[in-house]
Structure 1
Amino acid sequence: MSTKYKATMPGFGYFITITTVGWIDIFTRARQKYILTDCLRYCQQQKGLEFYAYSIMPSHIHLVCKAKEGGILSDTIRDFKKFTSKKIIQTIIDYPESRREWMLDYFKNTCKHLKRNQQYKVWQDGYHAEVVYSNWFLKQKINYVHNNPVADKIVKHPEDYLFSSARNYADLENELEVIVLNMF
């Protein structure tokens, strides 16, 4: 597998996008979004992940993050995807979801071609990662992450979206602590 868009360079920050299979809108329910924020919080506390920006969109998640010294970002992303996949499927099974059967069938069918024994597949293979190489690039990506819910017409202002670090930058109540950069 290509490493072109993987977080393979230790000590560097990355702009990362992780996308659901078929771009399915899984994260339309708060319960599903909290699975992601809880897991990201765990990655902060237990795996040494530093977040500078994030936004949970209906079918994908954007992160601007870095593994603390000694941490391997690609391993953390792999573990994040594996853990959240199981939790997302269990939540679809356990809680009311109007698209339950359709979603479970879709996630099951995406596994048919896989060599490994897997019942459901929630996330696309891999993820898209771009190394943060300058302050200009960092600022541009954080603005992109924060404005994504506005561009998607979810909210009118970035700081109105509860599942985004735009609230941290606006000094509002938030769901996940991030390192707020003083470049804005």
Structure 2
Amino acid sequence: MSVFKRYELHFFTATILEWKMLLLPDKYKDIIIDSLKFLVKEERVIIHGFVIMSNHIHIIWHCRHPHKRENIQRDFLKFTAQKIKFDLIENHPEVLRHFKVNAKDREYQFWEINPLSIDIWTEAVVKQKLNYIHENPLRAGLVKNPVEYLYSSARYYETGIDDWGVLTPL
């Protein structure tokens, strides 16, 4: 794949604090999608694959120059946490208390600290990571076929249909 000569790909994983099922409601998955749409529209990232599960997310992306990976990741996690927090305050305060932390810089924490972000340098590794993220809903018993899971890029790679308008093929 010529993609590896053009730019560096990253496999990004972020997990909800203590693996809690915060992203179970679709409205919180939609917050993740809206943030991805913003990043693509503002030309900060190119997204090649993703899955949003109930307690974690995986993304294969490229951070576009001059934007730095660590800044994009930080801003993405902070923005999504804030949007989820505001919804919990308004609609589910009983759930919000499960994310209260004793920290100097925040009252609540939704994402685990230090998300995983690794460089992908070969075609074999990108294919392995893409298959891994697409098979997450299958392994979780949510679907019989990965393309059936709505919050994933699996359908895009099977049919060419980008339900979210955020994907660029590898």
TM surpasses 0.5: yes
Give me the identity figure in percent.
Answer: 29
1 or 2, which has the higher helix percentage?
Answer: 2
- For residue 144 of structure 2, the aligned residue among 138, 142, 156 is 156
Structure-1-length-normalised TM-score? 0.83
Q: How many residues align?
A: 163
Secondary structure at the residue paired with 1:170? helix
The 8 Å contact of residues 47 and 76 in structure 1, kept in 2 or not, is answered as no
1:54 and 2:50 correspond: yes
Partner Cα separation in structure 1 for residue 43 and residue 90 of structure 2: 28
Give the alignment's TM-score, normalised by structure 2.
0.90
Residue matched to 2:31: 35
Unaligned runs of 5+ in 1: 1-10
Structure 2, unaligned stretches of length 5 or more?
1-6
Measured on the aligned residues, the alpha-carbon RMSD in Å equals 1.4
**Which structure 2 residues correspond to residues 13-92 of structure 1 after superposition, within 5 A?**
13-92=9-88
**CA distance in structure 1 between the partners assigned to 2:88 and 2:145 by the alignment:** 30
1:179 counterpart letter in structure 2: T
The one-character-per-residue Cα deviations of 1:150-178 (angstroms, maximum 9, x if unpaired) are 10111111110110001111224523421
> Deviations for 1:92-123, whole angstroms, at most 9, x for unmatched residues?
2333x5xx51x312211xx20x232x121100
The answer to whether structure 1 residue 179 and structure 2 residue 168 are counterparts is: yes
State the AA in 1 paired with 2:78.
Answer: K
Deviations 1:28-56 (A, max 9, x none): 11111100000011011115201110000
